[in-house]
Structure 1
Amino acid sequence: MHVLTLTTYADAPFMTQQMAALEERGVSFSTVSVAGEVSADTARGPTDYLRTVPKVIREAGNGYDLIHAHYGLTAPMALAQRQTPVVLSLWGSDVHGPVKPISVASAPLCDEVIVMSEGMRSELGQDCRVIPDGVDLERFQPKPQARAREAVGWDDVGDAYQVLFPYPPEREVKNLPRAKRIVSVVDNLLERPVELRVVHGVDHDAVADYMNAADALLLTSDSEGSPNSVKEALACNLPVVALDVGDVRERLAGVSPSHVATTDEELIDGLINVLQREERSNGREAARDVSIDRTTDQLLEVYEQVAGTEKRTRPRVTAAVDAVARRHH
């Protein structure tokens, strides 16, 4: 099976990791990324999306079994070609944020839609598959904390608790200011010092060491789909303190010590409890439900079903493509 991948972010670890797992099952991929550069200070504009459409149409004519469009803004360009079946994966912000109208308009025209949580399915308001991104249980597994701290350079922290925030500060949806407030309050309430470790831009292979070096993961996001950091923390038995966003409550069901909160006060109480217990969690067993092997099985089932459908001429999607441009005005 040969699949054309469309993405706004070709280096997304959870996407490339899942593609590698599918390649081991015999799927081959070619990737087209949206034109233009994106950074903390630069966003793609409508021209970048529109000038990618002809490239997608040309590439789609090369005999692919299906097109897998990742993120709502890639859906219109996937649908601009009218023969190859389309699978659309929505990532979270494209359902909970300003991109939602494009996702909602495009979803019914796709052959299959995948979301990461039941909350996303409810928000989308359409029939779709719930398949969270999988976690590699070989890469993410428990390791002695002292050895992990040496690996990441935290071997001189003394008795200070280490709270991990594994997101870029510039990603506003992750809400670093809130995490700083929570940790500052907890630091003032506990006898032992508490340090917030903002970790980003490291190789994905190193993330497991940070998970094992930390005492807790803190998630203060305004919205999420199915946060990979939570699943990776579970696989490493790292306690998690998180807001009730995305599928966090489902993922942390039965996991102890960990805490799901809805307010700052609950975040503070939960973090204090988790740190004072000084225990690793039982999260690895829960992580097996979202292992990459399991999600690969589910995605392969979708691929085989969609690729086996009779090819058909699609409705014109000029309006959907225009919606991408309108969103940026």
Structure 2
Amino acid sequence: MVFARRQAKALAAMPNVTVATWFFAERSSLGGLLRSRRSLREAIARHRAGVLHVHYGTITALLSVLSSPVPVVVTYHGSDLNRTPGDGLLRDLAGRLFSQLAALGASGIICVSEGLRRRLWWRRGRVRVIPMGVDLEHCVPVPYLEARQRLAWPDKPWRILFNHRDSPVKRLDIARQVEACLRADGIDACLEVLRGDVSSERMPLVLSAADALLLCSDQEGSPTMVKEAMACGLPVVTNDVGDVRERLAGVAPGAIVERDPARMAEALKEVLLLGRRSNGRDRVVANMADARTLDQLTLELLRDRARPHA
């Protein structure tokens, strides 16, 4: 959860804010959950916390709500409320049920997209929709040719990024069909599949060297990769999933199209032949979707829900 760590670090740097991070070490057994519960309560007491901010729902959020002596704010990111077939039927159903139950006891609820807010069974009116912002100080574009040289990428083929991370909902199978359609049309392009092996420090370089980003997911929350691509001027071609329509409003070149391999290939072809970077970074600033602005909104909610110290 790189974005959660980034946000914790950013909040800790704000005036009059103290942040301590804690992770569930054991979640696979009843004994492990009980030990985690005790460890959580000890951490809250040790740091004299006024509020507990939990990223993701599932059993983590539910146990936090049931165990914490201080108010709990839960941020839902997508895989906690959306279906995750790759987890197996039982784990998928249990995770979504635990996420829904956690919302009943939370003092504050954040969803990173409007679509996720609508997936909640109850308390939708209490939800704040706050996407995870992109860190513009970190996501700084590198000149295209310089980035290609540093990665030792030749001028051709065109490189289309696809963020997979071994998740079936990302639909690598469809992305491969899109790649095949491009090649059948004589477009010298290849899919550059990211499997979580690119560090956050190196990601801006990769985004700057690529020619387009492709998404064709079954479902998303508020995909971080899209916002990072925007910050680096990388055109995005995607189906209408998560909050991409809102994020990509006014961004060009790029396209939101039907999830059909031939249609996606045609949209990518237009982007590649145009050979231009997008105005995404300007749109991030104009829409106040930068991390600093959105972190401040999160902090305001946390402060509002926090229990004052005696």
Q: Give the TM-score of the pair, scaled to structure 1.
A: 0.83
Distance, in Å, in 1 between the alignment partners of 2:179 and 2:233 is 21
1:31 deviates by 2.3
Moved more, 268-277 or 216-225: 268-277
Are 2:69 and 1:83 equivalent residues in the alignment?
Answer: yes
1:82 deviates by 5.0
Amino acid at match of 1:18: Q
1:147 deviates by 0.6
1:46 deviates by 4.2
1:44-123 aligned at under 5 Å gives the runs: 45-47=28-30, 48-62=32-46, 63-73=48-58, 74-97=60-83, 98=92, 99-123=95-119
| Structure 2 match to 1:202 | 198
Amino acid at match of 2:142: K
- Alpha-carbon distance change, 310 to 101 in structure 1, aligned in 2, over 3 angstroms: farther
Distance, in Å, in 2 between the alignment partners of 1:166 and 1:151 is 21
- 8 Å contact 1:162–1:194 — kept in the other structure? yes
- Alpha-carbon distance change, 277 to 304 in structure 1, aligned in 2, over 3 angstroms: same
1:80 deviates by 2.3
Distance, in Å, in 1 between the alignment partners of 2:67 and 2:33 is 15
| Structure 2 match to 1:35 | 25
| Structure 2 match to 1:141 | 140
| Structure 1 match to 2:89 | none
1:1-329 aligned at under 5 Å gives the runs: 12-26=1-15, 27-36=17-26, 45-47=28-30, 48-62=32-46, 63-73=48-58, 74-97=60-83, 98=92, 99-125=95-121, 126-127=124-125, 128-154=127-153, 157-168=154-165, 170-190=166-186, 192-199=187-194, 200-264=196-260, 265-288=262-285, 289-308=288-307
- 8 Å contact 2:57–2:75 — kept in the other structure? yes
- Alpha-carbon distance change, 283 to 57 in structure 1, aligned in 2, over 3 angstroms: same
1:83 deviates by 2.5
Distance, in Å, in 1 between the alignment partners of 2:190 and 2:34 is 45
Distance, in Å, in 1 between the alignment partners of 2:309 and 2:14 is 23
Distance, in Å, in 2 between the alignment partners of 1:309 and 1:109 is 19
List alignment gaps of at least 5 residues for structure 2.
Answer: 84-91
1:59 deviates by 2.3
- 8 Å contact 2:156–2:189 — kept in the other structure? no
Amino acid at match of 1:113: I
Distance, in Å, in 2 between the alignment partners of 1:145 and 1:167 is 23
Q: Give the TM-score of the pair, scaled to structure 2.
A: 0.87
Aligned-pair identity (%): 35
